[in-house]
Amino acid sequence: MKRVAIFSIILAFFIALGFFIFIWEKKQNNPSQEQLQEKILQKESKTASLETMEKAKIAITTVYDNYQANPELKTGWGFSCLVKTADKNILFDTGADSETLLSNMGKMGIDPDEIDFIFISHLHKDHTGGLAVILKIKPSLQVYKPESFSGPTQVINGVWTTGPLGDSTKEQSLIINSDQGLIIITGCAHPGVVNIIKKTKEMFPNENIYLVLGGFHLFDASDFELKTIINDFQKLGVQKVAPCHCSGDKCRELFKQEYKENFIKNGVGKIIEI
């Protein structure tokens, strides 16, 4: 009799367990309205996150240069590019004259009012010539010059200055963090373009250098010097290059030979999306 009672209790336990498992599986296969809504919200949240990532691209548009990428735009000896990040629109340098700068920006649909701040690499006229007219259009713009910083500093989220480098000509370069790695933008690289890269590696020893863009100041360098510099770029892990302005034809030619598809033919009108 005692054995029958124990058996009945065990049997009742397993019947109850089976019932609860059946109910649980039914709920999983036939979720409630609240569960369905939660799943939809989770899916929408994931989609929104992916859309945000897609919109957070960095775009660098050269708006002033002596090399030409878009034949509809004017060239001039100098350099300026608009850097669009997820948060801000940065005008890096302003070229040599306001007329060419504004003409090119107008043809490319760039509104000076949309600029959030100006970053000046150094105080030579071919990089500051258009500054006055931009400030006339938008007087409230913050302008960061080399003397604005005593050393490497974060300017905004994800963007740094190397701080003023060099002896006779103080020059700062811009460093931007991207999903692909660090982007270095140089005005004329008077302190030496390799020195600028080394300074960046010193600041961020664990980060790779994705792109170095701008004036390399190598228009009068010999082939031997250029090949040595290119070798230094490769040793420092620079993945892509986009020399323009004062880099020189020979410099661009040799960099193209070595970097092949990772060489970007930069000039006024070129848009680089990262």
Q: What is the pLDDT of residues 50-94, one digit of tens each?
A: 333 344 489 999 999 999 999 999 999 999 999 999 989 999 999
Of residues 242 and 21, the one with the higher pLDDT is 242
Confidence class for position 17, pLDDT limits 50, 70, 90: low
Distance CA 265, CA 250 (A): 13
Distance CA 45, CA 197 (A): 39
Q: Do the strands 59-64 and 80-84 form a parallel or antiparallel pair, or are they unpaired?
A: antiparallel
CA distances from 26 to 12, 15, 33, 115 (A): 21, 17, 14, 57
Q: Do 32 and 233 contact (CB within 8 A), yes or no?
A: no
* DSSP-based helix, strand, coil % in the chain, nearest 5: 45, 20, 35
Q: For 201-243, how does the pLDDT look when each residue is reduced to its tens digit (9 = 90+)? A: 999 999 999 999 999 999 999 999 999 999 999 999 999 999 9
Ordered by start, the domain boundaries in the chain are: 2-52, 57-273
Q: Residue 140: which of 171, 117, 163, 164 has the closest Cα?
A: 117
> Would you tell me which CATH number, out of the four given (3.40.50.2300, 3.30.565.10, 3.60.15.10, 3.40.50.300), belongs to the domain 57-273?
3.60.15.10
Distance CA 139, CA 254 (A): 42
The angle formed by the CA atoms of residues 156, 90 and 136, to the nearest 5 degrees, is 120
Of residues 4 and 215, the one with the higher pLDDT is 215
Distance CA 30, CA 26 (A): 6
Q: Do 125 and 99 contact (CB within 8 A), yes or no?
A: no
- Beta strand extents in the chain (DSSP E only): 59-64, 80-84, 89-92, 117-119, 142-144, 153-156, 159-161, 174-178, 181-186, 209-215, 240-244, 271-273
Q: For 128-166, how does the pLDDT look when each residue is reduced to its tens digit (9 = 90+)? A: 999 999 999 999 999 999 999 999 999 999 999 999 999
Q: For 160-182, how does the pLDDT look when each residue is reduced to its tens digit (9 = 90+)? A: 999 999 999 999 999 999 999 99
pLDDT value at position 57?
Answer: 86
Q: Which residue, chain included where needed, has tokens 């709920």?
A: 27
Distance CA 176, CA 261 (A): 22
pLDDT value at position 44?
Answer: 35
Q: Which of 7-21, 102-116, 154-168, 197-211 has the lowest mean pLDDT?
A: 7-21
- Is this structure's pTM higher than 0.75? yes
